[in-house]
């Protein structure tokens, strides 16, 4: 019995060597996604932390955003973000109180993965705004987007800080 089990394990392991590498990776898959797949207005829920150099959370971030993707690789966004329970400052719409003038670019790969960069306006008396780089995955035919921040550069600096921030967005549907 043990000898039979051992031979079965060897056979399974050997057969795995003949499975094409593309079976294991999504990267060579062509699901038909493109920048056009990500088009319209998406409502996001943002959550995570800015970390210190040892990886411990120092700033808890919670927020919401409304992002418009144009289908050609450009985006515009408004957001409302809290940091450790306090609303973040920045240029805001006087009626909605949402931060304005956020813009960026994005690329959707044929396998429905992608990346984006979002630029934020400089704070009052600041020299530069924040910049966020993120990776994402589209699902539900492009109606849902899941993101992870890969790089956050705070305002008035060129040095990024460690983060653990993610968001999930859903495409707005017409009101019926």
Give dist(CA 2, CA 120) in Å, integer: 63
pLDDT digits (tens, 9 = 90+) for 114-171: 999 999 999 888 899 999 999 999 999 999 999 999 999 999 999 999 999 999 999 9
Q: Is the pLDDT of residue 93 over 50?
A: yes
106 neighbors 69 (Cβ within 8 angstroms): yes
Question: Could you tell me which residues come within 8 angstroms of residue 67 by beta carbon, excluding any fewer than 6 positions away?
Answer: 41, 42, 44, 75, 76, 77, 169
Question: Could you tell me which residues come within 8 angstroms of residue 19 by beta carbon, excluding any fewer than 6 positions away?
Answer: none
- pLDDT for res 12: 44
- pLDDT for res 1: 52
Q: What are phi and psi of 90, to 5 degrees?
A: 155, 170
- pLDDT for res 118: 98
Give dist(CA 137, CA 142) in Å, integer: 9
- pLDDT for res 173: 87
What mean pLDDT value characterizes the chain?
87
CA distances from 104 to 62, 78, 95, 155 (A): 21, 12, 24, 16
52 neighbors 162 (Cβ within 8 angstroms): yes
Q: Is the pLDDT of residue 103 over 70?
A: yes
* Structural domains present in the chain: 30-171 (2.40.128)
61 neighbors 167 (Cβ within 8 angstroms): no
Grade residue 21 by pLDDT with cuts at 50, 70 and 90.
Answer: very low
Q: Is the pLDDT of residue 18 over 80?
A: no
What 8-state DSSP symbol labels residue 15?
H
Provide the 10 A C-beta neighbour count for residue 15: 9
Q: For the whole model, what pTM was predicted?
A: 0.82
């Amino acid at each position: 019995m043990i000898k039979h089990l051992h031979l079965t394990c060897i056979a399974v392991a050997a057969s795995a060597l003949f499975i094409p590498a593309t079976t294991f990776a999504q990267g060579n898959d062509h699901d038909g996604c493109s920048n056009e797949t990500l088009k319209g207005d998406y409502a996001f829920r943002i959550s995570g932390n800015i970390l210190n150099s040892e990886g411990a959370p120092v700033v808890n971030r919670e927020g919401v955003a409304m992002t418009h993707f144009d289908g050609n690789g450009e985006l515009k966004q408004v957001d409302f973000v809290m940091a450790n329970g306090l609303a973040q400052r920045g240029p805001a719409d006087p009626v909605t109180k949402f931060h304005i003038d956020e813009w960026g670019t994005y690329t959707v790969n044929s396998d429905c993965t992608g990346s984006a960069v979002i630029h934020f306006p400089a704070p009052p008396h600041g020299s530069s705004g924040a910049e966020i780089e993120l990776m994402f995955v589209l699902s539900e035919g492009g109606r849902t987007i899941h993101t992870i921040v890969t790089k956050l550069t705070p305002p008035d600096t060129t040095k990024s800080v460690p983060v653990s921030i993610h968001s999930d967005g859903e495409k707005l549907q017409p009101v019926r």
